[in-house]
Amino acid sequence: MTAQNIDTGARCQAQTSNLKRPEKKMKSITPQILRQVLVITGLAFCNFSDGFIFGQMSGMVDALNGKDQSIPLSEDEVSWIASTINVTCFCGFALTAILTDVLGRRRTITIVSIPMSICWIMVYFAQDKYTLLLTRVILGISLGGFMIVTYTSVGEYVAPDMRSLCLNLMAVCASALGTLLGHVLSLLMHWRHVALVGLIPTIISAILPFFWVESPAWLAIKGRFTECEIAFRKLRTMNEATESELKTLIDSQRENCNKLNKNRNVLTKVIGKYVKAWKGKPYRKIYALLVATSTYRVAAGRILISTLIITMLRDITGSSDILLSTLFVDGFSLIGSGLACVFVSRFNMRSLLFTSGPLANLIQIVLAFCMYFWTDNSIYEKWVKVTLLALYCVVVSAGPYAVLETLLSELHPLDISASSIFGIGAFGGILQCLGIKLAAYLFPLIGYHGVFFVHSGVVFACILYLYYFLPETKGRTNQEIQFYFKHNRFGTVDEILCLEQQNDLLSREMGDVSSLQS
């Protein structure tokens, strides 16, 4: 009887423990994690829309260059349609930099989504080149707006150790998926109908921010420290490390609020803070790194390939039936984007960049040599070139772009992040526009191989500069990164807090002196 009781008790205990196990798993998915997932999903739809723009444009440009005569265009006008979007995106940077400073991150995304939605409808009904050019201008502004909000928000909503992973899920994977869908639909449907499909992700990206918590960093910048603390605790599971991060965030912004509260003009504040940052050597070092990063990003050619891939594959294969080769190249790009999420979570930024960067560039050079020397027009030759292009896309997406996108979001000082992204975005947008515009002229002159050779030379120069001057930023908070550029080393939490408190005390003393003098 005793043995039976023991056996029954053991069974009851086992059943109880089995019942408790799922409960533990449920508890691991905290409300903080769900709120962050909601933010990441919203930003992913923004980047999906950005990628879809280039996918739809590739099909539209190819059609207008070929059989579609619904809107008569010269080759020069088509090249302007393909490239204009990249230069007007910095107007979106400027507009969004002001909107995010005034309205916050959530409402800005919804506002930026509205003109993009209208623009897709305009593309569908367009009957002349001027309407198409106007849509490129509007889409460029919205594209720039989504980019600046993504780069700004990911560093503010997500924990430092998850920042690079989440950024690549949004800016690389979602964008690649949008481009893939745009390319495939452009081969199966008329480009006007593809534009209407673009309404779906844009509308979703406008709705989701209504369910977000406002960015704690933005609330701190505005001096709303109580709301900042509440928002931070809603987004992050609190422990010793996150408590220190919250304290550092609030302390780092008290000084700026004390100095700038007297000046209520938003534009003057934004420009004043940016000019002040430029006077210091630390930000000039950061900007030089951002220039190298943006140049590398343009020369690596992802946007060029996304914009002109349908035309390029028709020329490489000599066939109009390129659905399979398009799926092959875009599919490899998407695989590379997925691998990027794994690589950035397992490897340091420097190790990943300086291993995959030269490898991708070597593949680009091999592809250029094949295009120059191998011209027998055999099926084997065509598929080798398509395979090399796909291999280049997978390596450059998995390695260099994963690091470059992360750097473009985490190097900017917190108090001038929007204006800093605008500054580097203007440079990158103009450079990207020139790259696509010049490519349209250079392809007939020096061929695809010549353009790839030029790009590979620029990439090697950027890699060399970054090798000597780029610090390892993985897992570092924004305050730690800024401390590095001021002192050429990463400081401890105590050192950073002590420095912020000293600066705050000094600013108060100076304020007291000036008030006594007046």
* The 3-state secondary structure of 171-216, one letter per residue: HHHHHHHHHHHHHHHHHHCCHHHHHHHCHHHHHHHHHHHHHCCCCH
Assign 400 a pLDDT band (cuts: 50, 70, 90). Answer: very high
Dump pLDDT digits (tens) for 55-70. Answer: 998 888 888 887 777 8
Query: Is there a contact between 58 and 416 (Cβ–Cβ < 8 Å)?
Result: no
Instruction: Determine the Cα–Cα distance for residues 35 and 212; give it in Å rounded to an integer.
Output: 7
pLDDT of 476:
83
pLDDT of 508:
46
pLDDT score of 203 more than 90: yes
Instruction: Determine the Cα–Cα distance for residues 243 and 252; give it in Å rounded to an integer.
Output: 14
Instruction: Determine the Cα–Cα distance for residues 294 and 304; give it in Å rounded to an integer.
Output: 14
Ranked by mean pLDDT, the top range of 341-345, 387-391, 509-513 is 387-391
pLDDT score of 333 more than 80: yes
For the record, the structure tokens of 52 come out as 């879809």
Indicate the range of 15-29, 245-259, 445-459 predicted with least confidence. Answer: 15-29
Query: Is there a contact between 292 and 286 (Cβ–Cβ < 8 Å)?
Result: no
pLDDT score of 259 more than 70: no
pLDDT score of 323 more than 50: yes
pLDDT of 498:
63
Mean pLDDT of 296-321: 86
pLDDT score of 37 more than 60: yes
Assign 299 a pLDDT band (cuts: 50, 70, 90). Answer: very high
Indicate the range of 334-343, 344-353, 409-418 predicted with least confidence. Answer: 409-418
pLDDT score of 150 more than 60: yes
How many alpha carbons lie under 13 Å from residue 185 in its C-beta half-sphere?
21
pLDDT score of 500 more than 70: no
For the record, the structure tokens of 71 come out as 């809107």
3-state secondary structure of 411: coil
Indicate the range of 2-6, 67-71, 77-81, 427-431 predicted with least confidence. Answer: 2-6
Mean pLDDT of 315-320: 81
State the distance between the two ends of the chain, measured CA to CA, in whole angstroms.
93
Dump pLDDT digits (tens) for 417-467. Answer: 778 877 888 888 889 888 888 887 888 899 999 999 999 999 999 999 999
Mean pLDDT of 301-330: 84
- Superfamily covering domain 31-236+269-476: MFS general substrate transporter like domains (1.20.1250.20)
pLDDT score of 6 more than 60: no
DSSP one-letter code for 471: P
Query: Is there a contact between 246 and 395 (Cβ–Cβ < 8 Å)?
Result: no
Contacts of 180 (CB under 8 A, 6+ apart): 51, 55, 327, 330, 331, 333, 334
pLDDT score of 161 more than 90: no
pLDDT of 506:
41
- Average pLDDT of the chain, as a whole number: 82
pLDDT of 263:
52
Nearest to 85 by CA among 407, 304, 402: 304
Indicate the range of 39-48, 174-183, 271-280 predicted with least confidence. Answer: 271-280
Instruction: Determine the Cα–Cα distance for residues 34 and 62; give it in Å rounded to an integer.
Output: 42
Instruction: Determine the Cα–Cα distance for residues 392 and 402; give it in Å rounded to an integer.
Output: 14
pLDDT score of 350 more than 70: yes
For the record, the structure tokens of 156 come out as 């503010």
* Category of 134 on φ-ψ map: left (φ > 0), alpha (ψ -120 to 50) or beta: alpha
Instruction: Determine the Cα–Cα distance for residues 49 and 177; give it in Å rounded to an integer.
Output: 10
pLDDT of 75:
79
Assign 379 a pLDDT band (cuts: 50, 70, 90). Answer: confident
Question: Is the pLDDT higher at 510 or at 308?
Answer: 308
Share of the chain above pLDDT 90, in %: 28
Mean pLDDT of 482-487: 86
How many alpha carbons lie under 13 Å from residue 231 in its C-beta half-sphere?
21
pLDDT of 256:
64
Nearest to 358 by CA among 346, 366, 370, 348: 366
3-state secondary structure of 168: helix
For the record, the structure tokens of 110 come out as 């919804």
Share of the chain above pLDDT 70, in %: 87
Mean pLDDT of 493-501: 60
